[in-house]
Amino acid sequence: MRTVCIIAIGACLCWALAAAPRGAQTSSIPIFIGNGSGMRGFRPADTQLASWALDAWRRAAGAGLRFEPAAEADALIRLYWTEPNSGRYGEMQPLMVGGRPGAAVFIQADVSLLGDDIATRAARDDLFRDSVVYLTCLHELGHALGLAHTADFRDIMYFFGFGGDILDYFGRYRSQLHARADIAGVSGLSDADTRRIIALHPAGSQTK
């Protein structure tokens, strides 16, 4: 069984955990989303899936979390589209930006590399393919925002090292979609995911 994320739980904690006390002014997190043009399996609209994933976390956190586009060198969170990498769905790597901790997120857009079951279903269903890419973005960005893996199959932060049917996991989300645009409004986050992101980024906090 391949896993949605390869980062160990202890390595997934990022700068977002160091929010200021309640009452401080909320600030925006500089974000960079790379262009994967020319990479195998990448589609230009995949950048929209990444933006929708960021927006899902923003909506879940409420007033405590804001993002703003930034140049790559200035961004605290940077999302890249990765070349073939041994069947990995995605990865988050900590990085330092001007003395501040940040995160680089890597997403595999070519779902044909993610095993026969995923590849077969994605080949006949574009919405399933986009569901896989979107949920991978959502999961890895969750790590970048400070969230660790969970053992609850309902969570976007679930780790498949605990077991579970991966087709069912992605198919459960796909079943809620009628058109691609629905992804913008169907977050894919569980109630527990929402509680955790609010706890990390409470209203009135300031990201460091």
CATH number at residue 70: 3.40.390.10
Range of the domain at 31: 25-200
> Which range, of 14-28, 47-61, 71-85, averages the lowest pLDDT?
14-28
Does residue 98 lie within any of the structural domains?
yes
Label residue 67 by pLDDT band (50, 70, 90): very high
> Which range, of 14-23, 68-77, 133-142, 178-187, averages the lowest pLDDT?
14-23
Q: Which residue has the higher pLDDT, 199 or 9?
A: 199
Q: What is the amino acid identity at position 208? A: K
Strands 77-82 and 90-97: unpaired
Looking at residue 148, what is its pLDDT? Answer: 96
Percent of the chain scoring above 90 in pLDDT:
76
The two structure tokens encoding residue 120: 């077969």
Does residue 9 lie within any of the structural domains?
no
Cα-only R_g, the chain: 16
Interhelix angle 126-144/116-124, rounded to 10 degrees, is 120
pTM of the model as a whole: 0.88
Q: How many CA atoms lie within 13 A of 95 on its CB side?
A: 17
Does residue 10 lie within any of the structural domains?
no
For the stretch 5-18, pLDDT in tens is 533 323 333 344 33
Tell me if 12 sits within 8 A of 92, measured CB to CB: yes
Task: State the DSSP H helix or E strand holding residue 134, giving kind and residue range, or none if neither.
Answer: helix 126-144
Does residue 16 lie within any of the structural domains?
no
Does residue 1 lie within any of the structural domains?
no
The two structure tokens encoding residue 98: 């001007």
- As a whole number of angstroms, the distance between CA 155 and CA 171 comes to 14
**Burial level of 160, CB count in 10 A (0-12/13-18/19+)?**
middle
Tell me if 78 sits within 8 A of 105, measured CB to CB: yes
Does residue 4 lie within any of the structural domains?
no
Domain count along the chain = 1
For the stretch 125-152, pLDDT in tens is 999 999 999 999 999 999 999 999 999 9
Q: Which residue has the higher pLDDT, 123 or 21?
A: 123
| Farthest-apart Cα atoms in the chain, separation | 50
Does residue 12 lie within any of the structural domains?
no
Does residue 111 lie within any of the structural domains?
yes
